[in-house]
Amino acid sequence: MKTFKTVSEFKKILATGDKLHAVHHMEFDGRDEQQKPIWKDKDLGIRVVTIKQTNSFALATTKKDGSICDSWCGYPKASEAKVENNKLTIFEKDMRKFPGGLVADGNPDYDNLPLIPLLTYSFAD
């Protein structure tokens, strides 16, 4: 089993052919009584690394029609990730407060948005 403690270590040890267990933390699960979206975790299963580049990697993803395609993920900045127990969790800014609105870098509201978990990867095997 491959072990890592930082995003940089994850990036160094990741190799084509590795198997990663993936969890998506922002799967839409309907709406509550106030019509606010409900999110849940979705286990994406174990996926094979098909391509490794210096800035991103691709995982084999089975589409609804059964065909396989590459699904890309860019390596996060250290400030946008957490490594714990050999699991890499990637975070993104919580844009849910601005539904349909355009918020950009440099805007104080955007810069101060909290981070929420998006994806978690861990090595399988």
Residues in the chain: 125
Residue 16, CA distances (Å) to 30, 42, 72, 73, 95 in order: 36, 24, 13, 14, 33
State pTM to two decimals: 0.85
pLDDT of residue 107: 64
Under a CB-based contact definition with an 8 Å cutoff, are residues 44 and 26 in contact? no
Range list of H helices, 50-111: 108-111
pLDDT of residue 16: 98
Under a CB-based contact definition with an 8 Å cutoff, are residues 7 and 83 in contact? yes
Under a CB-based contact definition with an 8 Å cutoff, are residues 86 and 3 in contact? yes
Using 50 as the pLDDT threshold, list the residues of the chain that sit under it: none
